[in-house]
Structure 1
């Protein structure tokens, strides 16, 4: 019997990461929340009369300003979701921050479209938990 020898196989330690289903879930949920925010933004930009509020103002801004806010926030959340799914640590921290920002924004938007806002706030809270619950050093792969 002959044994095959590989040169250098033992010299480089293999890095093992703990995988976490929560991070895979968080990345996917970030993509969904980002898509919801993009839809909110596009609707606010192109169909002002879609929302329940009679005036063209929600709390502070008009629908056009909210449209741009949701559109930009949604694009960032989709990028963060892709970062989470690829195992980037920075994406976890940024994901928590933007989930909090989106939840607060949907509180302000609650008067305009209550059901959609409550659903998105619930998903943001679940996203925050999914990003903070996994053990340190784990990835979503």
Structure 2
């Protein structure tokens, strides 16, 4: 009488799906964060750089916009690092902050139109890159 025994580990190995979109999204979040930090620093240190005649964009002055962009940029870089390390919270947070940045750049459109349109397009691409991969996927 012959018996078969199973060879291999007693518990099945969990495999994570990998997604190039998430690697792209993490890198893009870091780039958008860097762009927003640049916007913030320029707004803080050189008010005359932007094209608006008055010292206000919608409701805030340049100093307030500078701090908003600076803080948002730092958060987006941290979220980008989280996305690259495979954290699910970073994907959800990344979508939220990409929407916030796109809306903010829509308001900032009057001050610097080409840069804002570019950043809005990158935010839309980031949202797609974060939502397209299946749940549980990790950056490869």
Q: Tell me whether the two structures share a fold, i.e. TM-score over 0.5.
A: yes
* TM-score of the aligned structures, taking structure 2 as reference length: 0.93
Gaps of 5+ in 1: 1-8
Other structure's SS at 1:109 match = helix
Provide, for residues 26-52 of structure 1, a one-character-per-residue CA deviation record: whole Å limited to 9, x for no partner: 000000000000000000000000000
Aligned to 2:48: 49
Between the two proteins, the alignment pairs up a number of residues equal to: 133
Distance 1:73 1:95 in 2: 11
Aligned to 1:34: 33
The answer for the alignment partner of 2:73 in structure 1 is: 74
Structure 1 ranges of 4+ moved more than 6 A:
none
5+ residue gaps, structure 2, are 1-7
CA shift for structure 1 position 136: 1.5
Separation in 2, partners of 1:69, 1:138 = 31
Alpha-carbon offset, residue 67 of structure 1: 0.1
| Aligned CA-pair RMSD | 0.8
Q: Counterpart of 1:53 in 2: which secondary structure?
A: coil
* 1:76-120 superposed Cα distances (whole Å, 9 cap, x missing partner): 000000000000000000000000000000000000000000000
Question: What secondary structure sits across from 2:18 in the alignment?
Answer: coil
Offset at residue 13 of structure 1 (A) = 3.0
